Amino acid sequence: MTDLPMYRNVIDGKLQAPASGKYLDSINPATGEVWARVPASDRTDVEAAVDAARKAFPAWSALPAAGRAHYLRQVGDIFRKHSDELTRLELMGIGCQARKSNVPTPAGGLSFLWDRAAGLTLDAVTGRSVPLDANTMGITRREPYGVVAAIVPYNSPQGMASSKASLAIAAGNTVVLKPPEQASPAILRFGELLAEILPPGVVNMVSGLGADVGDPLVRHPDVRKITMTGSPDTARMIQRAAADNLTSCIFELGGKSPNIVFADADLDRAAPGVTTQAIYTTNAGQACVGGSRILIQRPILDEMLGRMEAIAKQIRIGDPFDPETTMGPLISQPQFDKVTGYIEIGKQEAQLVFGGRYGPELVPSRPGGFWVEPTLFMTTNNALRICQEEIFGPVAAVIPFDTEEEAIAIANDSRFGLASGLWTRDLARVNRFIRDIRSGNVWVNTYLQTRYELPFGGIKDSGYGHDDIMEFTVEKTAVIAT
């Protein structure tokens, strides 16, 4: 254990060990072995980080937009210069397959987020003018909140950290970021590199368990904005904790997204769109946006099932560093237990179409990894647990339907409302579904096509708000009489 890499928090531009002296083990999900140690921080570290961010805020927010943009572009260079290292750390920490890594090699993927934020800095300070009468003018100006708390999930740590932090500081805020305890090393290393570029205190990183770090962070009276990507249950706890200070929140939460295939669809596109791209190879199904309820019109049901099974058979599960691997392991033992528990529930309440196996026999060369194969069930009952609860693994359910009305009713019969997919050639149907489906995102004849120029957020238990530069500012009104 003494030879393991030891990562530290980043507070006020310095690398700092946790005040308690305690550390957490970081587990390689492909082997089940400890490969690094990260700070088990507590309230003391949170207080220091928030204090550093609070003190850095006046100077950072006073910096002209062009000055902030200059810093942001330098941060983008981190991913161009250190892409190989950050890719390796991400793969070691979360086990996603190399070809789907959130830090692609060669560099360019996440650098774009920081370059984009640099280009948006002027938007964050642009106000409006409204003539009220001949002698009176109303004006608005946009101002940063102050200290922003950013809480990042394990399934896309560097991507989420970059998205949240870049927009927050572009708007003139300062940030205290909590990495996921399951996958902190890549973000903490990124924080080390950030500290070489940004002024002290602008971005601080404190790792640890949610109860020890997240809770005091969201309760802190100096935190004026919270952005969190995670589960609805966590969001509810944060919202209750933030209520005392009336802290503004952004929540991007879970999903149980319908992916609907009509008989007139192009099945050559639809079959991979509801199988590989949408569910299985996106972090082994650990994606809130995955279309895990697949609605198929009955005339094409058998053909679609055959096509989906053929695609699933081509998926290669294994070592994330193997270029032939197309699906890696789940993140941890608790997540493995949760997902495999749902598989056993599914075997009892629905028809198993394919898959259903899990454990070391799937990848004998890595017996300690958290391996689950792509699994598909079929049922006519959307009320089943496997249809209503977020599994967060490579497990989906097919639900046959006959009519448009039935498809809409099934699609909307969920407490979630993050995303939906529709596969059809009927333009009138497309317009009806975009209107009637209750979700924050609708993809038509594609899935998981996202662009940062477009908002990404949910409704119902999938949250509210989205990480946009305007969300990190407040609008002030002034009226001037002459």
Omega of the bond prior to 106 within 30 degrees of 0, cis? yes
pLDDT tens readout for residues 55-94: 999 999 999 999 999 999 999 999 999 988 998 999 899 8
CA-nearest of 204, 159, 202 to 177 is: 204
Instruction: Report the alpha-carbon distance of residue 373 to residue 397 in Å, rounded.
Output: 14
With a threshold of 0.85, does the pTM exceed it? Answer: yes
pLDDT tens readout for residues 407-421: 999 999 999 999 999
Confidence label for 279 from pLDDT (cuts 50, 70 and 90): low
Task: For domain 9-253+463-479, give the fold.
Answer: Aldehyde Dehydrogenase; Chain A, domain 1 (3.40.605)
Phi/psi for 447 (5° steps) reads -155, 145
CB atoms within 10 A of CB 277: 21
Instruction: Report the alpha-carbon distance of residue 403 to residue 163 in Å, rounded.
Output: 40
Instruction: Report the alpha-carbon distance of residue 283 to residue 262 in Å, rounded.
Output: 27
pLDDT value at 101 more than 70: no
Q: Which amino acid is at 75?
A: V
258-450 classified as CATH 3.40.309.10: yes
> Mean pLDDT, to the nearest integer, of 33-58?
98
Question: Quick one: how many helices (H) and strands (E) in the chain?
Answer: 14, 22
Asked whether the beta carbons of 140 and 477 are under 8 A apart, the reply is: yes
pLDDT value at 128 more than 60: yes
CB atoms within 10 A of CB 476: 11
pLDDT tens readout for residues 222-268: 999 999 999 999 999 999 999 999 999 999 999 999 999 999 999 99
Confidence label for 282 from pLDDT (cuts 50, 70 and 90): low
Q: Do domains 9-253+463-479 and 258-450 have the same CATH topology?
A: no
Which residues, 6+ apart, have CB-to-CB distance to 88 below 8 Å? Answer: none
Q: Are strands 203-205 and 174-178 parallel, antiparallel or unpaired?
A: parallel
Q: Which amino acid is at 236?
A: R
What pLDDT was estimated at residue 455?
87
Report the alpha-carbon angle 243-246-252, nearest 5.
Answer: 75
What pLDDT was estimated at residue 44?
98
pLDDT value at 104 more than 60: no
Asked whether the beta carbons of 197 and 78 are under 8 A apart, the reply is: yes
Q: 85 catalytic, yes or no?
A: no
pLDDT tens readout for residues 332-355: 999 999 999 999 999 999 999 999
Q: 249 catalytic, yes or no?
A: no
Domain boundaries, the chain: 9-253+463-479, 258-450
Instruction: Report the alpha-carbon distance of residue 251 to residue 461 in Å, rounded.
Output: 10
Q: Which of 252, 373, 390, 471 is catalytic?
A: 252
For the record, the structure tokens of 273 come out as 């769109």
Q: What is the largest CA-CA distance in the chain?
A: 80
What pLDDT was estimated at residue 124?
85
Q: Which of 96, 249, 288, 387 is catalytic?
A: 288
